[in-house]
Amino acid sequence: MNIEKIKYFIDLVECRNFTDTAKKNYVSQTTISQHIASIEKEFGMQLFDRKQIPIEPTEARWLFYGEAVILWKQYNNMKAKMENYQRDHTQTLAIEYAAVTDIKSILKFIPPFKENNPNIKIELNKVLLKDVSEFLQKGIYDVAIAFDSEFKGKEDILTKTLYSGSYYAVVYKHHPLYDNSSISKEELYGYPLVMLSPEAIGNSYYLMIENAIEDGYEPNILRTADDVETELFYIVTDNLIGFFPENYNLTYMRDEVRLIPLQDSHHTFKIEIGYLRDNRNPALKLFLNQL
Handedness of CA 142, 271, 122, 100 (dihedral sign): positive
DSSP string, 32-45: HHHHHHHHHHHHTS
The DSSP 8-state label assigned to residue 252 in this structure reads G
The DSSP 8-state label assigned to residue 46 in this structure reads -
| Alpha-carbon gap, residue 241 to 169, rounded angstroms | 6
Tens-level pLDDT at each residue, the chain (291 residues): 678 888 888 888 888 888 899 899 899 989 988 888 888 888 888 888 777 777 777 777 778 888 888 888 888 878 877 777 776 677 889 999 988 888 888 888 899 998 999 888 898 889 988 899 999 998 889 999 999 989 988 999 999 999 999 999 999 999 999 999 999 999 999 999 999 999 888 888 998 999 999 999 999 999 999 999 999 999 999 999 999 999 888 877 778 999 999 999 999 999 999 999 999 888 999 999 888
Parallel/antiparallel/unpaired status of strands 143-147 and 120-126: unpaired
Rg (CA), the chain: 22
Say if 3-72 and 164-269 have the same CATH topology: no
Domain spanning 3-72 has what CATH number?
Answer: 1.10.10.10
Angle among Cα 173, 187, 182 to the nearest 5 degrees reads 65
- Is the pTM above the cut of 0.95? no
Neighbour-count burial for 271-290, b at 16+ CB within 10 Å, e otherwise: bbbbbbeebebebbeebeee
pLDDT of residue 174: 95
| Alpha-carbon gap, residue 195 to 171, rounded angstroms | 13
Domain spanning 88-162+271-290 has what CATH number?
Answer: 3.40.190.10
pLDDT of residue 1: 67
pLDDT of residue 119: 87
Task: Say whether domain 164-269 belongs to CATH 3.40.190.290.
Answer: yes
pLDDT of residue 88: 64
pLDDT of residue 180: 96
pLDDT of residue 3: 83
pLDDT of residue 249: 82
Domain ranges of the chain: 3-72, 88-162+271-290, 164-269
Residue 286 CB partners (closer than 8 Å, separation 6+): 113, 116, 117, 120
